Amino acid sequence: MFEVSIIMPVYNVKEHLARAIESALNQKKILTEIILVNDGSTDGCAEICDDYAQREPLLVKVIHQENKGSGPARNAGLDQAIGKYIYFADPDDYFDNNLLQENCRLAKEAEPDMVVFGYTQEKASDPLDREIKLPNFPQLTTQEGFRQHFGNVYHFSPYALWNKLYKRKFLKKHHIRFTSQKTGQDALFNIDVFKHLSSVAVNRKAYYHYVSHEGSSVNRYRPERYLMEQNIAEAFEQLMSEWGEEGTFANLIGEEYFNTLYLETANLVHRDCPLSDEEKIKRLIDIWQTIGITKIVPYKQSDHNPFRRLLLSTYKQQNFNQALRLMKSRNQVARRYTKVFSKVRTFFKN
């Protein structure tokens, strides 16, 4: 039996895919199966997956399916997985050779439902621009302890899949699966995990390299983005209600709904958004009346990030035209800064 099943959904990431698969194959001293789910790729990823399966037929399994999204692709991998633990890796990132060895050792010692570990956040356009992120909460051995420290758990990429190792029996016992939602299905999956979680082992070392790529799903205009983000906020609020902790974590509920509004504002100022300025303002007015007055104002008073704090104040003043201008300006400045900083780095390298 394999100790770990690595499940990797694959869709049109030809230039990054080999690096991700090599990261999986290079794991030290852990018997690992690698399940590549080709989700209808059209750029040659299917051939790369098949090539690795031919090279390593005992370790690499390939599933080809029509394009359904990363959630259904991961479900297809879960249906085939036989490892004691499940690890979800993205095909445009990479990870250290000892990720599974060291985290499986911790899993064997503590037998937790889930292991959480650190990661490095970096940009594809500038690999030297990186930041290490580490968990800041203790080993959690009971459901009560997990809920008591949930605030700290929440502030460490709670919805990411790639900084966690899941016990397969735990997922199967509680029928935890991915939805078909195009984005945010990882958040909904982890909210379902949190609902049943009793124990978490914590490793304060960084192993995974999360790489930001231009044109990723969060950087595209999606007409349905607000509804998808609202689904996440509502699922989170429902979880707090089931725990009976709406009061304790009211600020986190407010943060979830504020994030919904924030991401939709960014969505509306995207260059591909077809709406007129009047339609964009009306959209924000409708959203504010739906969740701003009832979910954001009572629960979220401020924000540690200066820009988000300013934007929150602008929303509360119901100056939605100004909110759109602020978001647009922020994005323009961020793009210019990235280009200039990249040129400076290139200059000093040469």
Give the model's confidence band at 1: pLDDT under 50 very low, under 70 low, under 90 confident, else very high. confident
The reported pTM is 0.92
CB-based contacts of 309-316 (< 8 A; 24+ apart in sequence): 311/262, 311/265, 312/258, 315/261, 315/288
Domain positions in the chain are: 4-217, 221-339
| 57-112 pLDDT tens trace | 999 999 999 999 999 999 999 999 999 999 999 999 999 999 999 999 999 999 99
Instruction: Specify whether the CB–CB gap between 4 and 83 falls below 8 A.
Output: yes
Instruction: Specify whether the CB–CB gap between 120 and 130 falls below 8 A.
Output: yes
Instruction: Using a pLDDT cut of 70, give the percent of the chain over it.
Output: 93
Give the model's confidence band at 141: pLDDT under 50 very low, under 70 low, under 90 confident, else very high. very high
Q: What is the pLDDT of residue 162?
A: 98
| 160-173 pLDDT tens trace | 999 999 999 999 99
Q: What residues have CB less than 8 Å from 225, skipping those under 6 apart? A: 183, 263, 264, 267
How far out from the chain centre does Cα 294 lie? 27
**DSSP conformation class of 140:** B
Q: What is the pLDDT of residue 332?
A: 80
Token duo for residue 217: 């799903």
Give the model's confidence band at 218: pLDDT under 50 very low, under 70 low, under 90 confident, else very high. low
CA 279/CA 129 separation, integer angstroms: 38
Instruction: Specify whether the CB–CB gap between 311 and 265 falls below 8 A.
Output: yes
Token duo for residue 65: 């399916």
Instruction: Specify whether the CB–CB gap between 7 and 77 falls below 8 A.
Output: yes
Enumerate helices (H) and strands (E) in the chain, giving the number of each. Answer: 13, 9
**DSSP conformation class of 84:** S
CA 218/CA 320 separation, integer angstroms: 22
DSSP-derived 3-state class of residue 334? helix
Among 106-110, 233-237, 339-343, which is the least confidently predicted range? 339-343
Q: What value does the mean pLDDT of the chain take?
A: 93
Tokens 């060895």 sit on residue: 101
Token duo for residue 209: 């390299």
Nearest Cα to Cα of residue 220 among 262, 183, 178: 183
Q: What is the pLDDT of residue 128?
A: 81
Give the model's confidence band at 276: pLDDT under 50 very low, under 70 low, under 90 confident, else very high. very high
Give the model's confidence band at 220: pLDDT under 50 very low, under 70 low, under 90 confident, else very high. confident
Assigned CATH for 4-217: 3.90.550.10
pLDDT at 279 over 90: yes
**Secondary element (H or E) of residue 284:** helix 277-287
CA 139/CA 199 separation, integer angstroms: 8
Give the model's confidence band at 341: pLDDT under 50 very low, under 70 low, under 90 confident, else very high. very low
Nearest Cα to Cα of residue 84 among 170, 177, 192: 170
CA 198/CA 164 separation, integer angstroms: 15
**Secondary element (H or E) of residue 259:** helix 250-268
Give the model's confidence band at 347: pLDDT under 50 very low, under 70 low, under 90 confident, else very high. very low
